[in-house]
Amino acid sequence: MHDDAALLSAQVQAELDTIKGWFFPSDRRIFSWLLARQTELGVHGNLVELGSYLGKSAVLIGDYVQPGETFTVLDLFEGETSDAGNAAEQADSYATLTEQRFAENYLRFHPQLPTVVRDVSSVIVDRVPAGSCRFVHVDASHLYDHVAVDVDSARTLLGEQGIVAFDDYRSEHCPGVAAAVWEGVLDKGLQVIGVSENKLYATWGDPEPWRTALLEWLTDDQNAWGQRLAVYDQSIVRAKAWFPRAMPPPPAPAPRPVAESAPAKAGAAGQPAEDVRREGRVKHLAKDLLPPVVSRHLARRLRARRR
């Protein structure tokens, strides 16, 4: 198993980590689980990301869009904002961002772009129909005034089984996100499903089935961990998930003498049987663990290696 785990982990990092951003393994796996589970349960709706930066999280979300659903990505990109605090935030953290760079990254993973809106996050309610969404990722400005509006927008946009993910809900450098999110819980009916190190997941629907299923997944998966925590009157899930630990690549096999007879069972292109079995195991694991977009890249790499 170790070789397979090493290969998977290396692939995941290599593929999504070619895009600069702040979307870490725990949340990559939790996003994948939530988005896939919604589809399994027949929850249909549009997807929205407020704050895409260079596309790291958008690439993954884009992989779960189903026929008939739209994915709208909104960001200021290189555009102006009239709010001085927000302008300073842009200059400090995202000075080299352009919509073109986002598009180039996205198109390396997907054949076509999502709907891209270059504007402040508050306009999202004019661009996506109210009540039409199943997933909203709030990761734009981290200033209180903006996030408080994003909480309201998420409430407007989400349908009954919709889920919102808030980035940086507990970080030292952006207390405004925490203030806006917990205000959402105390004053606006937001129900927390769970928290990871970097994101808080919530709904305005019934949170309990989501909490139960999330904890079940975290408990059953050997690369995840979870527990219940009480906050106010809510029993939320603390979630951690990861990719199998990277291991050093296996040593290259010693060269065989040319005259040696062929292995008992070889792959289609004369590939040694053990390699074929190993690739089969990797593909199987990849299907279980990885977002489809990364599995497809992995499969392409394996095919290229065989040539």
Ligand X SMILES: C[S@@+](CC[C@H](N)C(=O)[O-])C[C@H]1O[C@@H](n2cnc3c(N)ncnc32)[C@H](O)[C@@H]1O
Q: Which residues bind ligand X (CB under 6 A)?
A: 21-23, 51-53, 56-57, 74-76, 81, 86, 90, 94, 97, 120-121, 139-141, 146
The whole-angstrom separation of Cα 196 and Cα 187 is: 22
The whole-angstrom separation of Cα 153 and Cα 151 is: 5
* Smallest separation (angstroms) from ligand X to the CB of 307: 33
- Nearest residue (CB) to ligand X, 4 versus 150: 150
* Smallest separation (angstroms) from ligand X to the CB of 101: 10
The whole-angstrom separation of Cα 276 and Cα 269 is: 10
> How is residue 265 written in tokens?
């069972």
The whole-angstrom separation of Cα 223 and Cα 240 is: 9
Q: How far apart are the first and last CA of the chain?
A: 24
- Nearest residue (CB) to ligand X, 66 versus 93: 93
- Nearest residue (CB) to ligand X, 53 versus 64: 53
> How is residue 82 written in tokens?
């009239």
**Cβ(59)–Cβ(71) below 8 Å:** no
Q: 10 Å Cβ neighbour count for 212?
A: 12
Provide the pairing of β-strand 234-241 with 224-231. antiparallel
Which residue lies nearest ligand X, judged by its C-beta? Answer: 21
> How is residue 273 written in tokens?
């049987």
Report the greatest alpha carbon distance in the chain: 77
- Nearest residue (CB) to ligand X, 99 versus 183: 99
The whole-angstrom separation of Cα 96 and Cα 37 is: 36
- Nearest residue (CB) to ligand X, 74 versus 192: 74
* Smallest separation (angstroms) from ligand X to the CB of 62: 12
* Smallest separation (angstroms) from ligand X to the CB of 19: 7
The whole-angstrom separation of Cα 177 and Cα 175 is: 5
> How is residue 278 written in tokens?
């190993």
- Nearest residue (CB) to ligand X, 47 versus 285: 47
* Smallest separation (angstroms) from ligand X to the CB of 306: 33
* Smallest separation (angstroms) from ligand X to the CB of 56: 4
* Smallest separation (angstroms) from ligand X to the CB of 193: 19
- Nearest residue (CB) to ligand X, 43 versus 76: 76
DSSP 140: S
Continuous H helices in 221-307: 273-289, 292-306
